[in-house]
Each structure stands twice: as C-alpha cells, then as structure tokens.
Amino acid sequence: MTGKSHVKPVALQLGIPLENIFANQLLFGSTGEFLGFDPKEFTSRSGGKAVAVQFIRKVHGYKHLVMIGDGATDLEARQPGGADLFICYGGVQLRQTVAAKADWLVTSFEELVNSLD
C-alpha cells in the first residue's frame, strides 16, 4: 500500500489534488514484513518534507502554503521558503514539543474541517 492511498480520502474531502501530496511509500517483503520507506520519496529523508513543500510552492506558484503534521519532521517544513503555517495534529498522539512550536493545534479532523467552513 502506498503512502498516497492512506491520505487519499482526506485529500479528496479537502479538495487537494493528489499530485500535491507527498507521503512515505511503505515497502514490505514477500511475507509481509516491513522493509522501510521508498528512498525515492522526498518524505523518506531527513528534511524531505521541507523539500516537498518548497517543490509544491515552486511548481504551482502558491503564495500561501500550510503544512499539517504531528511530528518533528513535519515541523521541518517551516524552513525558509517552506510552509507559511504549521498546524500540529494531536488527534492520534500529541507531541508537546511539536505543539509548542506550531502555529495552531487541532486534536481532531472534525475540528480542522469545522474551522475551515
């Protein structure tokens, strides 16, 4: 199963084109054991999420870009030229160090969607 298949339903609901989604592709062996992440994906490398955000901004010419995540590597997307706003999603696991540096903390998908209406 690819990373995009995990986030596809959320992207569709938010109207985000799949070509704007960069997610780890999980690699499994023939007996189902986890082998790691596809190294070709931006998100499989340290600093890769910042690179993905910069790529999306450049390709589409977006003036404003938001990153939503729950971990320290997601927060890296705030690097210069990256995301303008970082939303910490604490609905599965709240990482206080990430939440403390976020622009906004949400604890449920419903909270996020309702705030956007």
pLDDT computed for residue 101 by the predictor: 95
What are the residue ranges spanned by the domains of the chain?
A: 1-45, 47-117
pTM over 0.75? The answer is no
Q: Which long-range contacts (CB under 8 A, 24 or more apart) does 85-94 make?
A: 87/112, 94/70
Position 31 scores a pLDDT of 93
Give CA–CA dist 53/66, Å, rounded.
Answer: 9
The CATH classification number of 47-117 equals 3.40.50.1000
Q: Which tens digits make up the pLDDT trace of 57-97?
A: 888 898 899 999 999 989 999 888 889 999 999 989 999 99
Report the distance separating Cα 92 and Cα 99, nearest Å: 13
Q: What is the pLDDT of residue 2?
A: 44
